[in-house]
Amino acid sequence: MQVTLKVLRFDPSKDGKPEWRTYQVEAEPWDRVLDLLHKVQWYQDGTLAFRRSCGHGICGSDAMLINGRNRLACKTLVKDVGSVITVEPIRGLPVEKDLIVDMEPFFAAYRAVKPYLINDEPPPQRERLQSPEERERFDTGTKCILCAACTTSCPVFWTNGTYIGPAAIVQAHRFLFDSRDRGKRERFQALGSGSGVWRCRTAYNCTEACPREISVTQLIEEVKRAILFDRF
């Protein structure tokens, strides 16, 4: 089948503003949108720039806006999005070229929640024990691939650049609810501050955007509650 691929192109070093460019690509229904981008870049227009690595939804490189929704290009099939496909960079991060955005603000928010196990107690000789139920408690957050689809779908993040955003909160949740972690107070400093969880307006965009089917909004609510109950 013939697919019309419309890509929002922008090279800040040359162009004043982003412009749509349209490509005709021969595709199979089971092709990934990533395959179409490759066909354009490899055989039609070598100047098109985008990120990708694994090609099957676990490295998080190719999050982009496909037909107006945040998705991974390698996990989105032509049969599911139709024969006219629009592709834009994820929103709220500065565009560096075409579909490539500056990820540094995103990773700065990640670092702010101290995304690592905090536990100064001397570890035992063998593993720290953890029951399957305790392990299950934070399982969903461990699926996060840091693709930024959630954070860049959030209207609060678009309008308030200092909001740490859903992905960082998911990372915090993953440790707050890990029975081995002792870093609750340290993380609450970032999470409870003006740029922390209270900015969340429960729009559910993040949950809809997550390509790993993490119930992001619910995790954010659980973090809010943890901070509240900690106060009283």
Partner 1 sequence: MAHRHEVIVVGGGGAGLAAALYAAREGADVAVVSKLYPTRSHTGAAQGGIGAALGNVEEDHWEWHMFDTIKGGDYLTDQDAAEVFAKEVIEAVIELEHMGLPFDRLPNGKIAQRRFGGHTKDWGKAPVHRAAHAADRTGHMILQTLYQQCVKAGITFYNEFHVTDVIVEDGAAKGLVAYELASGELHLFQAKALIIASGGFGRIYKVTSNAYTLTGDLQAILYRRGLPLEDMEFYQFHPTGLYPLGILLTEGARGEGGILRNALGERFMERYAPTIKDLAPRDLVSRAMYLEVREGRGVGPKKDHVLLDLTHLPPEVIEKKLPDITEFSRIYLGVDPLKEPVPVMPTAHYAMGGIPTNLWGQVIRDERNTVVPGLYAAGEAACVSLHGANRLGTNSLGDLVVFGRRAGIHAARFAKDADYQELSREHLGPSRERIERIKSSAGKERVAALRAELQQSMMDHASVFRTGELLKKQVEILKELMDRYKGIAIQDKGEVYNTELVEALELGYLLEVSEALVHSALNRTETRGAHAREDYPERDDENWLKHTLAYKVGDGKVCFRYKPVVLGRFEPKARTY
117 counts as binding partner 1 under rule CB under 8 A: yes
**Cα 26 versus chain centre, distance:** 29
41 counts as binding partner 1 under rule CB under 8 A: yes
117: closest CA among 164, 170, 166, 176? 176
Residue (20 or 30) nearer to partner 1, CB: 30
61: closest CA among 81, 89, 80? 89
Residue (129 or 194) nearer to partner 1, CB: 129
How would you label 123-138 residue by residue, b for 16+ Cβ within 10 Å and e otherwise?
eeeeeeeeeeeeeebb
181 counts as binding partner 1 under rule CB under 8 A: yes
| Residue from 87, 93, 103, 170 binding partner 1 (CB under 8 A) | 103
Distance in Å, CB of 97 to partner 1, minimum: 4
- Beta strand ranges found along 90-224 (DSSP E): 95-97, 100-101
Distance in Å, CB of 68 to partner 1, minimum: 20
81 counts as binding partner 1 under rule CB under 8 A: no
Residue (199 or 212) nearer to partner 1, CB: 212
185 counts as binding partner 1 under rule CB under 8 A: no
Q: How far apart are CA 205 and CA 155, in angstroms?
A: 8
175 counts as binding partner 1 under rule CB under 8 A: yes
209: closest CA among 64, 33, 58? 64
Q: How far apart are CA 87 and CA 48, in angstroms?
A: 12
Among the candidate windows 19-27, 131-139, 154-162, 192-200, which touches partner 1 by CB under 8 A?
131-139
Distance in Å, CB of 201 to partner 1, minimum: 28
